[in-house]
Amino acid sequence: MAVAIWWIRRDLRLHDNAALAAALERAGSIVPLFIVDPTLLSSPTASSRRTAFLCAGLRALDRDLRARGGRLIVRHGPPARVLEQVLRETGAESIVAHDDVSPYGRRRDMRVATHLPLRLVDGLTVLPPERVTTREGMPYRVFTPFRRAWESMVATEDLVPIAPPVRITVPDHVASEEIPASDQRFDEFPPSEAAARRRLETFTSGPQAPIYRYVAMRNRVDLDGTSRLSPYLRFGMVSPREVLLAARGAMQAAPTASARESVRAYIGELVWRDFYMTILRHYPHVLRRALRRELRGIPWEDDPDALAAWQEGRTGFPIVDAAMRQLAQTGWIPNRARMIVASFLVKDLLIDWRHGQDHFMRLLLDGDPAANTGGWQWAASVGTDAAPYFRIFNPVRQGTHADPRGAYVRRWVPELARVPDQYVHAPWTMPPAVQRATRCWIGRDYPAPMVDHTTARARALARYRASRRRQT
């Protein structure tokens, strides 16, 4: 019986898995192989929380495979060496995996393909990164024309999900190492394909599906208004194509025009995901260098104390501090919170966006190089965004819009639990009598604002203008 290796990377699922399907087309027996890569584990932005989530997801995948007669094979070591060893052990004739967009992943795969029978298939994105290009065959660098082209192509695609195999046969003699154990709990994000599929169904199914309120709710950090699928998409516990198809089903069943607009807005987030992966595929330097050449020379502030205050949620701006504390405790924050804290670090504190990018990668469950870098360059106005650099979030105004009653702030910044609504996003404006009554003295129980936003905004604008002039 022919044998193929299904090399699992970011596709911890059995449903709609093109790599698994391609391996089964080539062989009657497969080796579902996950390689614990020491290079990735030793990265400066490696995350112990993300690694624990991955390992729990691998255990769930192993259970799903065993339910179909198979099992997961785990090996530690450099991928090329491990693959060569497994090929010798099994007599496998091919290796199948989903294509990657990261610079490291592409170099790794090129090395493997030089002497091993590696076949890469699409599946990391809805549309392959090479597909969505200009008429001249160049990648888009601005989102809006990318979205128009993406939507035009998707409209003509025959998007049919691949059914999971009923039975999987794995050679009996192939040994597996233990999946690393962890006692870390993930109550908000149970790490499994089953949990991902339940969350997708809950978000998109029924006449009261949350996706129909997405436009109204997505920017409210005090409410559960988003799909919260990002950790599952990060590890491929659900495919982006199945998410799109579920959203399309919701679009067809939408009861109102506003519900349809909300679905379209949510689909736009899938487009952003494809867009950022396409950018990283074609411009790998964006991981450490601004895409916009004219803004590469901004003189950032070297202020370790200010950076630490931001990281630890001690800035004196409640919405910023609440988000940073939630991130530290849970490994996840809503997208609106990400934009707020990123704008504050880069524009109010004038600290290099790469410090924020690295901090997020060390903490985020859904830490993805493409999306994380794209988001940080967007916040710093140095990436693909067509909007001008003078977009600077006011943290007080953002707080009042995203958390009108202060529930989110009070949950994550308990020092402000008794502060009245009218002061909760600007507690330094409390009169002394109110500070006494709420037992929250500014400067003692909760820090005073570390910057004046109006002054900081003017400083940032001057710094950006000067950088642009130097490059012209």
**Average pLDDT over all residues of the chain:** 95
* 149 and 29 within one domain: no
Residue of 6, 376, 378, 412 marked catalytic: 376
* 325 and 222 within one domain: no
Active site residue 335: yes
CA distance 344 to 260: 33
Residue of 6, 7, 272, 332 marked catalytic: 272
* 452 and 304 within one domain: yes
| Mean pLDDT in residue range 99-120 | 97
Residue 369 lies in a domain: yes
What the block records as the tokens of 252 is: 């067809």
Active site residue 272: yes
Residue 387: pLDDT over 90: no
For residues 46 and 390, the model is more confident at: 46
Residue of 7, 17, 219, 269 marked catalytic: 269
* 148 and 230 within one domain: yes
Asked if 282 contacts 414 with a C-beta cutoff of 8 angstroms, the reply is no
| Strands laid side by side in the 29-36 sheet | 73-76, 29-36, 3-8, 94-98, 118-121
* 277 and 298 within one domain: no
Residue 472: pLDDT over 70: no
* 446 and 303 within one domain: yes
| Mean pLDDT in residue range 206-211 | 96
* 60 and 48 within one domain: yes
Residue of 151, 261, 294, 335 marked catalytic: 335
Domain count, the chain: 3
Q: pLDDT (tens digit, 9 = 90+) per residue, 404-450?
A: 999 999 999 999 999 999 999 999 999 999 999 999 999 999 999 99
Residue 429 lies in a domain: yes
Residue 200 belongs to domain with CATH number? 1.25.40.80
Residue of 300, 394, 428, 441 marked catalytic: 300
* 447 and 327 within one domain: yes
Number of helices (H), then strands (E), in the chain: 20, 5
* 462 and 329 within one domain: yes
Structural domain ending residue among the three candidates 253, 282, 311: 282
Q: Which residues contact 69 (CB under 8 A, 6 or more apart)?
A: 167, 168, 169, 170
| Mean pLDDT in residue range 333-348 | 98
Q: Tell me the residue range of the domain where 153 lies.
A: 125-162+194-282
What is this structure's pTM? 0.96
Count CB atoms within 10 A of the CB of residue 76. 13
Residue 170 lies in a domain: no
* 86 and 144 within one domain: no
Residue 445 lies in a domain: yes
Structural domain ending residue among the three candidates 102, 124, 146: 124
Active site residue 300: yes
Determine the length of the chain.
472
* 333 and 455 within one domain: yes
